Amino acid sequence: MILLHTTSVDATRDLAAAVAELVRGGDLIVLAGDLGAGKTAFTQGFGRALGVEGPITSPTYTLAHQYDDGRLRLHHLDVYRFDATAEVLDVGLAELLDDPDAVTLIEWGDAILSSLPADLLEVRLVLGGDDDDRDVTIRMVGPRWAARQRALTAALSPWMVAESPTAGGH
């Protein structure tokens, strides 16, 4: 695991942009954290780094947004309101994850981890001591991200608190 800390919304967006520089088509990023923890702010910074020009908003009520104007297509899902794994199938998640020209970010994705491939990057955001402080934990699961561990660690070094010895583990 990689432990990080940001002190502003812009810093959280910048951290996300650093992650976005390393993504490849077919990647899955799971965003976890309480309401207001910064999941959408993370996605905004991530999308901007991909080249998305329009506004990036939370898809809480629409369940999914797609942005086509970046270097990779961005599928942005919010599964907060999902009651069952069957709803994951209804939204066409398998098809989205099979898109080789896209990256998928899922807010509240930790709630459906059992329905997701075991090859993902988990980003957990936790409210810090001050209003804009966030503690961020990055967990690499599977070979796709394990192969990029060194590059990811280097890219995130400005926000690094510590790196655990089991950076690629479950």
What mean pLDDT is predicted for residues 140-144? 95
Identify the band that residue 18 occupies on the pLDDT scale cut at 50, 70 and 90: very high
Domain for residue 36, yes or no? Answer: yes
Domain region containing 113: 2-163
Q: Judge residue 30's burial from the number of C-beta atoms within 10 Å of its C-beta, 0-12 exposed, 13-18 middle, 19 or more buried.
A: buried
Number of domains in the chain: 1
The whole-number pLDDT of residue 14 equals 98
Domain for residue 59, yes or no? Answer: yes
The whole-number pLDDT of residue 59 equals 78
Identify the band that residue 165 occupies on the pLDDT scale cut at 50, 70 and 90: low
- Express each pLDDT in 35-61 by its tens digit: 999 999 999 999 999 999 999 998 766
Domain for residue 170, yes or no? Answer: no
Cα(65)–Cα(77) distance, integer angstroms: 6
Domain for residue 145, yes or no? Answer: yes
The whole-number pLDDT of residue 167 equals 46
- Express each pLDDT in 110-126 by its tens digit: 888 888 889 999 999 99
**What separation, in Å, do the N-terminal and C-terminal C-alpha atoms of the chain show?**
9
